[in-house]
Amino acid sequence: MVDQLTILAPGLLGASVAMAARRFGVARRIVVWARRPEVRVQLESLPWCDSVAATPEEAARGASLVVICAPVENIPQLAAAIRPQLAAGAIVTDVGSVKGELCRRAAADYPTDPAGPVFIGAHPMAGSEKCGHEAGCAELFQGRACFVTPLDNTPAAAVEGLVRFWHALGCEVVTMHPDRHDEIVAHVSHLPHLLAASLCALLAGKHADWRNLAGPGLRDTTRVASGDPKLWRGILDANRDEVLRALRSYQDELQALHAALANRNDLELLAILERGKAWRDKLRVTP
Tens of pLDDT along the chain (287 residues) come to: 899 999 999 999 999 999 999 999 999 999 999 999 999 999 999 999 999 999 999 999 999 999 999 999 999 999 999 999 999 899 999 999 999 999 999 988 998 776 789 999 999 998 776 778 888 899 999 999 999 999 999 999 999 999 999 999 999 999 999 999 999 999 999 999 999 999 999 999 999 999 999 999 999 999 999 999 999 999 999 999 999 999 999 999 999 999 999 999 999 999 999 999 999 999 986 65
260 in a structural domain: yes
Boundary residue ending a domain (176, 199, 219): 176
Given a contact cutoff of 8 angstroms between Cβ atoms, the answer to whether 102 and 178 are in contact is yes
195 and 161 in one domain? no
Boundary residue ending a domain (156, 176, 196): 176
121 and 87 in one domain? yes
115 in a structural domain: yes
130 in a structural domain: yes
211 in a structural domain: yes
What's residue 131's pLDDT? 78
- The total of structural domains in the chain comes to 2
pTM of the predicted model as reported, rounded to 2 decimal places = 0.91
> What value, to the nearest 5°, has the Cα angle with vertex 27 and ends 26 and 29?
160
b/e per residue, 106-137, with b = 16+ CB within 10 A?
A: bbebbeeeeeebbbbbbbbbbbeeeeebeebb
Boundary residue ending a domain (143, 176, 209): 176
Cα separation values, 269 from 22, 220, 249, 262, Å: 51, 23, 18, 10
Range of the domain at 189: 181-281
In this structure, the strands spanning 145-149 and 121-124 are: antiparallel
216 and 169 in one domain? no
Given a contact cutoff of 8 angstroms between Cβ atoms, the answer to whether 223 and 214 are in contact is no
185 and 116 in one domain? no
CATH number at residue 81: 3.40.50.720
60 in a structural domain: yes
188 and 49 in one domain? no
Residue 145 parent element (H or E): strand 145-149
159 and 36 in one domain? yes
What's residue 287's pLDDT? 58
3-state SS of 62-117 is CCCEEEECCCHHHHHHHHHHHHHHCCCCCEEEECCCCCHHHHHHHHHHCCCCCCCC
124 and 6 in one domain? yes
CATH number at residue 254: 1.10.3660.10
92 and 29 in one domain? yes
What's residue 284's pLDDT? 80
What's residue 133's pLDDT? 86
256 and 148 in one domain? no
286 in a structural domain: no
**174 — phi, psi (to 5°)?**
-120, 140
What's residue 128's pLDDT? 72
What's residue 116's pLDDT? 83
What's residue 243's pLDDT? 98
126 and 251 in one domain? no
Q: What is the DSSP letter of 209?
A: G
257 in a structural domain: yes
196 and 237 in one domain? yes
Enumerate the H helices of the chain as residue ranges.
Answer: 12-23, 37-43, 56-60, 75-82, 100-109, 156-168, 178-185, 191-204, 216-222, 229-238, 240-262, 266-281
81 and 61 in one domain? yes
